[in-house]
Structure 1
């Protein structure tokens, strides 16, 4: 099946992406349960060399999007087009096992927990060198030299490669994860809450490291987090997710200055400002209720039960993600009409 090619500036194009879990009865005596729509009709692009941030409350579908893009999960519906290193475009949603095996060299992931994502029985040489062995890239002394080089890149001493993960701090373990992700010279890295388990100062050091590596190797990042201050620092553009849907997509600075969706406004109201003058007159928006059940979302706009601006149309009709301002998209019936407060 022919795949519509991507332009030279685009690395990923996600269109109408959906992932539903469950929905089928396990036994003949059991009733069929509604499917959990973890990701529902999500569309966005990521340009080569940029960092696309994905934010939202826990359970909004952020990590599921990353796993779908890397094909760790099968896709329920939608398209994931990826521009390979040779310039050709491939459809990841329907790619076979053999094709995916080759493509995984170009797409890697940094996991959230540096304590559980590293096998405690493997040395750094084995952990960082494993991708090289699996893909037949290096072995023996060549593998040892490559691992030493990768450890230097992330600020760890090469002589540490004989040690086990328990000998390192959380920040150092995450650097080991970064070195492992870099082993195959990928074009794209998905960082799933990569610094959320670290102290603020250590997290900042690792973020700066990721930015330096991005500049050095031309990397493209999908940066998933719930920390809006962190995503503001590292991201070129941001997508805001809620109950499996993208509610807003925008360049970082315009979003922080003037959000287009009430949910984004609520998230930004929680961003602390170090300058006391900026905090004057700012109000924290406390959303009522809980995030809806993804297996039974409310009719109309999924955010309307918690939205302070909701009207009758919000309860009856689901809004589309539309371009409310040039290059800025919002899933709100009144996008561009509401006067929403940003982070500053």
Structure 2
């Protein structure tokens, strides 16, 4: 354990293999009404998320739109202010800092160690900037290198992501979607971060191009020792790239497990429903799979259901589920689930 001092009061220690840890993380967006903009409620976008991401691993985060996946990533990088909870981060010098309530001036130095790859490669790049300006911008902002050194660094980064250094003076419109996303990856790598949040980084791309970029991310992870938070709707993609997976529903984690375990034997009914939506090759129709009916739509985060928030849609719900809120608990080593009856249910995964 590292006992290095952190910002403000001493931050709790983390396991030596952990790079980033969020504890009881909450993000509420206020609802105002009336001529005087009176506070009448909150959208509970994130409502008590706790997870650890180990150094060098890829942690996949899945769930429906509106479940809070992207908000978690933005909170971890402090793009949003935190309502409550801790975000502990292990810096390059092995000190542990709590960035949850850091001032902007203090966060500036942290930006070098944690970066983001955005979903849309078309809107995340300024069309009026050349590749030299786009990829070199983080270096300029942080005062890293002379103009000549920045130019050399950008040329190097273009080569690293599979683009030609001669493209330095070109603009984003000259590139395909897959190439633009590689430009975004190069920009994220500019300051040598240890942690990268990839928010639906390949969802806007064709399947073959997405696969190439996923392979690139894996190669870069091995080469530079990167740690990823990988957010996606594509369960096939997350199965391929992730070491562990967290399943989110209505601002909370409902299950976390190693990838093989969660695809073989899910423990939460919502995870089973997601698994049932994964297409399986079976041209002769010999493979009978149970289809789990998932009723309705994700609830309103401003007025979540009582008890287990998933109970209105759960095919296994009992009376207890509508009144008693389940805790995220450890059921086996490395597996957590938020369900009263996880041990009793016989759920079906993809690999059965």
1:195 aligns with 2:202: yes
- 2:139 matched residue in structure 1: 132
- In the aligned structure 2, how far is the partner of 1:216 from the partner of 1:96? 33
The equivalent position to 2:179 in structure 1, one of 169, 172, 193, is 172
1:218 aligns with 2:225: yes
1:16 aligns with 2:24: yes
- Gap regions ≥5 residues in structure 1: none
1:57-85 Cα shifts (integer Å, max 9, x gaps): 00100000000000000100111100000
1:232 match: secondary structure: helix
CA contact (8 A) 1:5 1:88 kept: no
CA contact (8 A) 1:273 1:279 kept: no
- Give the paired residue count: 343
- 1:247 matched residue in structure 2: 254
- In the aligned structure 1, how far is the partner of 2:306 from the partner of 2:67? 17
Structure 1 residue ranges (4+ consecutive) displaced by more than 6 angstroms after TM superposition: none
- 1:69 matched residue in structure 2: 76
Superposed, 1:313-324 pairs within 5 Å as: 313-324=320-331
- In the aligned structure 2, how far is the partner of 1:229 from the partner of 1:277? 21
CA contact (8 A) 1:106 1:186 kept: yes
Superposed, 1:303-342 pairs within 5 Å as: 303-342=310-349
1:284 match: secondary structure: coil
- In the aligned structure 1, how far is the partner of 2:107 from the partner of 2:162? 31
1:93 aligns with 2:114: no
**What's the TM-score once normalised by structure 2's chain length?**
0.95
CA contact (8 A) 2:31 2:41 kept: yes
1:266 aligns with 2:273: yes
CA contact (8 A) 2:178 2:205 kept: yes
Seen in structure 2, the aligned counterparts of structure 1 residues 185 and 275 have a Cα distance that, compared at 3 Å, is farther
Seen in structure 2, the aligned counterparts of structure 1 residues 26 and 50 have a Cα distance that, compared at 3 Å, is farther
> C-alpha displacement at 1:8, in angstroms?
2.3
CA contact (8 A) 2:293 2:315 kept: no
Seen in structure 2, the aligned counterparts of structure 1 residues 26 and 138 have a Cα distance that, compared at 3 Å, is farther
- In the aligned structure 2, how far is the partner of 1:283 from the partner of 1:112? 33
Seen in structure 2, the aligned counterparts of structure 1 residues 156 and 57 have a Cα distance that, compared at 3 Å, is same
- In the aligned structure 2, how far is the partner of 1:116 from the partner of 1:268? 31
- In the aligned structure 2, how far is the partner of 1:81 from the partner of 1:278? 49
> C-alpha displacement at 1:98, in angstroms?
2.0
- Gap regions ≥5 residues in structure 2: 1-8
Seen in structure 2, the aligned counterparts of structure 1 residues 215 and 298 have a Cα distance that, compared at 3 Å, is same
CA contact (8 A) 1:243 1:294 kept: yes
Superposed, 1:23-62 pairs within 5 Å as: 23-25=31-33, 27-28=35-36, 32-62=39-69
CA contact (8 A) 1:18 1:77 kept: yes
Seen in structure 2, the aligned counterparts of structure 1 residues 181 and 26 have a Cα distance that, compared at 3 Å, is farther
> C-alpha displacement at 1:24, in angstroms?
4.2
**What's the TM-score once normalised by structure 1's chain length?**
0.97
CA contact (8 A) 1:325 1:336 kept: no
CA contact (8 A) 2:30 2:39 kept: no
> C-alpha displacement at 1:52, in angstroms?
0.4
> C-alpha displacement at 1:97, in angstroms?
1.6
The equivalent position to 2:13 in structure 1, one of 2, 5, 10, is 5
CA contact (8 A) 1:132 1:139 kept: no
Deviates more, 1:15-24 or 1:237-246: 15-24
- In the aligned structure 2, how far is the partner of 1:38 from the partner of 1:290? 16
- In the aligned structure 2, how far is the partner of 1:275 from the partner of 1:89? 49
Q: How well do the aligned residues superpose, as a CA RMSD in angstroms?
A: 1.3
- 2:5 matched residue in structure 1: none
- 2:3 matched residue in structure 1: none
CA contact (8 A) 1:11 1:47 kept: yes
